[in-house]
Amino acid sequence: MYSASYKKHRLKFRFVAGTSRGTMTERDTYFIYLSKKDNNKIIGTGEISPLFGLSIDFLPNLESIIIDVCKRIEKASIKSLSDIFALIPDSLPAVRFGFETAFLDLENNGKRIIYKNDFSLNQKPIPINGLVWMGDFEFMQSQLEEKLEQGFSCIKLKIGAINFEKECKLLESIRKRFDENKITIRVDANGAFPANEALKKLEVLSNYAIHSIEQPIMANQWYEMRRLCAETPLPIALDEELIPLVNLEDKKQMLDYIKPQFLIFKPTLLGGLQKTAEWIELCKERNIDWWITSALESNIGLNAISQFVANYNPTLPQGLGTGKLYHNNIESSLEIENGEIFSRRGDKI
pLDDT digits (tens, 9 = 90+) for 184-238: 999 999 899 999 999 999 999 999 999 999 999 999 999 999 999 999 999 999 9
pTM: 0.94
Pairing of strands 130-132, 210-214: unpaired
Query: Boundaries of CATH 3.30.390.10 in the chain?
Result: 2-107
pLDDT of residue 14: 85
Digit-coded pLDDT (tens) for 92-133: 999 999 999 999 999 999 999 999 999 999 999 999 999 988
Q: Report the CATH number of the 2-107 domain.
A: 3.30.390.10
How far apart are alpha carbons 315 and 35 in whole angstroms?
A: 36
Contacts (Cβ under 8 Å, ≥6 apart) of 95: 48, 57, 62, 65, 66, 69, 88
**Active site residue ranges:** 158, 266
Model confidence band, residue 153 (pLDDT cutoffs 50, 70, 90):
very high
Residue 44 pairs with which residues in a beta bridge?
A: 34
Calculated CA dihedral for residues 163, 166, 172, 173, nearest 10 degrees:
-140
Digit-coded pLDDT (tens) for 228-283: 999 999 999 999 999 999 999 999 999 999 999 999 999 999 999 999 999 999 99
Query: Boundaries of CATH 3.20.20.120 in the chain?
Result: 118-343
CATH topology of domain 118-343: TIM Barrel (3.20.20)
